[in-house]
Amino acid sequence: MALLMRCTDFSRRLISAALDRWSSHNRFNQVRRLLISLVIVLPGVFLAARSAQGRTAEPPDYVVYRRIFHHVALLKQMADAAQQKGMDRSNLRQLVRSRAGITGPEGESLERISLQCESDVAAEDAKAKVIIDRFHTQYPSRIINPSFLPKTPPELVTLWQERSNIILGARDRLRGELGEKDFAKFDQFVREQSATPSFSPAASRQKIVP
């Protein structure tokens, strides 16, 4: 039981990182419901992920790169929203680039790949939501004994793997466009920032947007 609870706690923290501010602010309640559902349904999936990582404290690549790609995409959305209101917030789009030390075409590659990754991940999350809603139909009370967890829907496990592969594929495309030397520097930046709570779109908006 104690091991199961620790696995569930790990799942909660891992999902929170992977789905960091999943889409946009006005979808917070949907994100929260999805996270709670995944914590219930997928403890075994994340236990396997933890074993694959050798029980290290460092999060896997699909978590840290999901965070950075989502960050870049959300800053672009914030800049576009400001422009529609007649305000110039193009500096938001430069925030990650300047901190990571990438400029010019490399920065454009980062933004383009981040936006595509955001779109592809959102499509996978929409598919997962259908499966999770069906799960709630089967278990409407959501009162589940931790000792007798429902069987994980195999479709959900497959979708999660596909979701992770989308993120890792975006990472690999970025590596190809930056080159090994520059990507190694960017990768170091990503890993350093993964442990920095203040490195988030919300913090960025508080610092830059009046």
Q: Tens digit of pLDDT per residue, the chain (210 long)?
A: 444 344 444 444 444 444 444 434 444 445 445 544 544 444 444 444 445 544 456 899 999 999 999 999 999 999 999 999 999 998 999 999 999 998 889 999 999 999 999 999 999 999 999 998 988 888 776 566 667 777 888 999 999 999 999 999 999 999 999 999 999 999 999 998 887 655 555 444 444 333
CA 48, 52, 54, 55 torsion: positive or negative?
A: negative
What is the pLDDT, as a whole number, of residue 181? 94
Q: Kindly write down the DSSP assignment for every residue of 34-60, as one continuous string.
A: HHHHHHHH-HHHHHHHHHHTTT-SSPP
What is the pLDDT, as a whole number, of residue 150? 73
| Beta carbons of 35 and 15 less than 8 angstroms apart | yes
What is the pLDDT, as a whole number, of residue 3? 41
Q: State which residues form the domain around 177.
A: 2-208
* Number of domains comprising the chain: 1
pLDDT tens, residue by residue, 42-57: 444 444 444 554 445 6
Buried b (16+ CB within 10 A) or exposed e, 126-141: eebeebbeebeeeeee
What is the pLDDT, as a whole number, of residue 107? 93
* CA–CA gap between residue 45 and residue 23 (Å, rounded): 23
What is the pLDDT, as a whole number, of residue 25? 41
pTM of the model: 0.67
CA angle (102 as vertex; 112, 179 as ends), nearest 5? 75
* CA–CA gap between residue 208 and residue 92 (Å, rounded): 8
What is the pLDDT, as a whole number, of residue 30? 52
pLDDT tens, residue by residue, 84-114: 999 999 899 999 999 999 888 999 999 999 9
| Six-digit token string for 108 | 């454009």
| Six-digit token string for 63 | 């978590």
